[in-house]
Amino acid sequence: MKRLMLCLLALCLAASSAYAVDPSAVPKPKQTKLGKYLSAQEAEHFVSEHGKTALFLDVRTPSEVVFLGMPTQADANVPYMIEPEFPTWDDAKKSLKLEPNPDFIPEVRRRLAAKGLDANSPVVLICRSGDRSAASANLLTEAGFTNVYSVVDGFEGDLASSGPHEGRRAVNGWKNAGLPWSYKLDKTKMYGVER
């Protein structure tokens, strides 16, 4: 019996580490307080296995989702940051500024409840390249969520630093891995659309 229990424990540990991105390899802007990371491929496998007991959220802005598509397995688009009513320019980032979504945590709670889940259930977050999913994971952790994963390479992946794709998001990520995604959006999954 003791031998069987040790074997089961070893299997559980092996299964849980099957989804573990090495935390020491995660760049600082993509690190989270819980230290739970998935690559895009691991996230797709994790969500396929645990879809009914986990929540998979795309935390990009609705505009990004509309123009770039969304993972087909995502339960919803719940943006961590949103476009302000009156756009302003961010000189440092050379783009339009985004502002925190004040409805982020309540909307995550609502989406969890709709699936019969709670703040201890696995929540998988994906953004463009892993920075916002990490920041949103930290926000959820501060709000009492205990099992939040960040997809470190995101939907579009990291920028290529050399070669024919230099400066483009062509290194890794959901789309570059050929994982299922679509431009066709489901109204019930979109943030801010009347239900």
Query: Domain residue spans in the chain?
Result: 20-189
Task: Report the candidate in 78, 38, 29 with the shortest Cα–Cα distance to residue 58.
Answer: 78
Q: Does domain 20-189 have CATH number 3.40.250.10?
A: yes
Task: Please give the Cα distance from 33 to 28 (Å, whole number).
Answer: 11
Could you tell me the pTM of the whole model?
Answer: 0.87
Nearest alpha carbon to residue 112 among 46, 57, 72, 59: 57
Comparing CA positions, the residue from 9, 47, 23 lying closest to residue 134 is: 23
- Rounded Cα distance between 156 and 165, Å, is 13
Local structure of residue 187 (DSSP, 8 states): G
Which pLDDT score is estimated for 7? Answer: 38
H-helix or E-strand spanning residue 101: none
56-75 exposure pattern, b = at least 16 Cβ within 10 A, e = fewer: bbbbbbbebbeeebbbebbb
Q: Kindly write down the DSSP assignment for every residue of 105-141, as one continuous string.
A: HHHHHHHHHHTT--TTS-EEEE-SSSHHHHHHHHHHH
- Distances in Å between the alpha carbon of 34 and those of 38, 76, 84, 140? 12, 22, 30, 10
3-class secondary-structure state, position 48: helix
pLDDT at 20 (0 to 100): 67
Which residues share a beta bridge with 148?
123
Q: Is 182 left (phi over 0), alpha (psi -120 to 50) or beta?
A: beta
Q: What is the pLDDT along the chain (195 residues), one digit of tens a residue?
A: 434 333 333 333 334 445 668 888 899 999 999 999 999 999 999 999 999 999 999 999 999 999 999 999 999 999 999 999 899 999 998 988 999 999 999 999 999 999 999 999 999 999 999 999 999 999 999 999 999 999 999 999 887 788 888 888 888 899 999 999 999 999 999 998 865
